[in-house]
Amino acid sequence: MDLVKTGNGVRQAAAELSAREVPFHEIPVIDFGPMLGNDPVAKQTVADALREAATKVGFFYIKNHGVPEEIIKAMFDAGPAFFALSLDEKMKVHVKTSTNNSGYTPLLEENVNPQAKGDLHEAYDIAAELPPDDPALAEGKGLYGVNIWPEGMPGFRKAMLAYHFEVLKLGRRLFGAFALALGQAEDFFEPMITKPTCAQRIIYYPSQDGAIDEELIGIGAHSDYECFTILAQHEVAALQVLNTAGEWIAAPPIPGTYVINIGDQMARWSNDIFKSTLHRAINTTGRARYSAPFFLGTNYDTVIDVLPGCVSAEHPRKYEPVIAGDYVQSRFDATYGYRQTES
C-alpha cells in the first residue's frame, strides 16, 4: 500500500497503477434534475441518493445538471488553443504573476502527492470572478483577486467565464443537496457562500506511452481541498478514484454528466460521514486529454467545524475547526513549487 499525505492526514491507497474497469451501473449516476425545480419531496430523493453515494461509494456522476452543453463544448474548444501557445507566451501568465493563484501552471510544477516527482500536466486556473471594485479585493486574502488572462485570446476568456458562471450556479444547487443530505435545511449553507472561493481549471494531460514511472503520472493520488469538485471530462478517460474498498476504480467520461467528489472541507463538516475521496489521473490512451474541474468552497472566513448532528459516542469528533480560506491557502503552499521556492 502507498501512503498519501492530504490536508486531513495520511491515508492509504493501493500501489498498482491500473484501475479496475467496472460497468457504469456500479458507479452511481444521480438524476440531479429535481434540484432545479421546486418539489421538496423530489429534492429529498436526490439528497438521499447523494448521501448513499457519498458514504458508501465515495464518488458519483450527476445527470440533468442544468449546465448547457454548448457552454461546456465552447470551454473545451477554447482550452487547446491556449496550451498550443509557446512556453514563453504561456509563462507570461504564470500563476506566480497573480494574487489569487490564477493563470498558467507548467508541466511538473504542481505536485499533489509529496511522495511523487511532480504532476505530468499543464493547467490554467481562474479564481472567483469578482468585479474590480469588490471590497474583497482590498482585503488581501489570497483566494480573492483579479484573474489574469492571456493577451490576444478574447475567445478563451469569454468561454472560460461563461462556463464559470454556469457551473457556479450548479455548485450552489449542490450545496443545497448536500445540506439536505446532512439533515439540514436546503438553505443551510447559503450564508456561507455569498462570496465563495473557488478554483476553475482546464487541464491538459499529454499521453504517457511506454513504461510509466509510478512517481510521475498525470496527477498523483490526492484529495481535493474545498467542499466538493464538479468535474467535466472531455472524451478521453484517465480518472481513477479510490473506492471505500481500497480499489482504484476507473471513472470514464459519460456524456451529459459531471463527476462529483467530496473535498476535505465537506469531510470535516460531516466528521468523515462524507469522505474526501483519493483520486488520480493516468493518461495512457495515446491521445491528449483535457478535463475541467471546478473546486468550490465557501466564503474565505467561514469556520469549518463539525456539525452537531455528525458527532456521537460511536462517532466522536475527528477535526478541530479551521478557517476555510486559510486551509485552502495552506494546501496551495504545499502543492505549488513556486510558492515553496520564493521568499
Task: State residue 248's pLDDT score.
Answer: 87
Report residue 58's pLDDT band, with 50, 70 and 90 as the boundaries: confident
Report residue 129's pLDDT band, with 50, 70 and 90 as the boundaries: confident
Report residue 265's pLDDT band, with 50, 70 and 90 as the boundaries: very high
**Nearest 10 degrees: Cα torsion 69, 72, 77, 83:** -170
Q: Is the pLDDT of residue 22 over 80?
A: no
Name the burial class of residue 313, with classes exposed (0-12), middle (13-18) and buried (19+) by CB atoms within 10 angstroms of its CB. exposed
Task: State residue 23's pLDDT score.
Answer: 42
Q: DSSP 3-state assignment of 256?
A: coil
Q: Is the pLDDT of residue 24 over 50?
A: no
Contacts of 122 (CB under 8 A, 6+ apart): 83, 90, 104, 105, 106, 107, 203, 204
Q: Is the pLDDT of residue 161 over 60?
A: yes
User: β-pairing, 59-63 with 29-31?
Assistant: parallel
**Nearest 10 degrees: Cα torsion 96, 98, 104, 105:** 40
Domain boundaries, the chain: 28-341
Give the number of other CB atoms < 10 A from CB of residue 197.
27
Topology given in CATH for the domain delimited by 28-341: Jelly Rolls (2.60.120)
Q: What is the mean pLDDT of the chain?
A: 89
Task: State residue 21's pLDDT score.
Answer: 53
Contacts of 102 (CB under 8 A, 6+ apart): 95, 125, 126, 127, 145, 147, 148
* Residue of 235, 251, 317 whose CA lies nearest to 58: 251
| Separation between Cα atoms, residue 138 and residue 140, nearest integer Å | 6
What average pLDDT does the segment 80-100 reach? 95
What average pLDDT does the segment 259-281 reach? 92
- Give me the phi and psi of 10, to 5 degrees please: -85, 135
Q: 277: which 3 cell numbers?
A: 475521496
Report residue 330's pLDDT band, with 50, 70 and 90 as the boundaries: confident
What average pLDDT does the segment 160-189 reach? 97
Are 313 and 335 contacting, i.e. CB atoms less than 8 angstroms apart? no
| CA–CA–CA angle 293, 294, 300 (5° rounding) | 140
| Separation between Cα atoms, residue 205 and residue 128, nearest integer Å | 24
Q: Is the pLDDT of residue 3 over 80?
A: no
Report residue 256's pLDDT band, with 50, 70 and 90 as the boundaries: very high
What average pLDDT does the segment 319-340 reach? 82
Q: What's the count of helices (H) and strands (E) in the chain, helices before strands? A: 7, 16
* Beta-bridge partners for 234: 290
| Separation between Cα atoms, residue 296 and residue 310, nearest integer Å | 22
Report residue 172's pLDDT band, with 50, 70 and 90 as the boundaries: very high
What average pLDDT does the segment 130-139 reach? 82
Residue with cell 491528449: 288
What average pLDDT does the segment 5-24 reach? 56
Q: What percent of the chain has pLDDT over 90?
A: 65
Report residue 196's pLDDT band, with 50, 70 and 90 as the boundaries: very high
| Separation between Cα atoms, residue 198 and residue 144, nearest integer Å | 9
Task: State residue 208's pLDDT score.
Answer: 92
| Separation between Cα atoms, residue 320 and residue 153, nearest integer Å | 44
DSSP assignment string, 185-219? -TTTTGGG-SS--EEEEEEEE----SS--TTSSSE
More confident residue, 294 or 5: 294
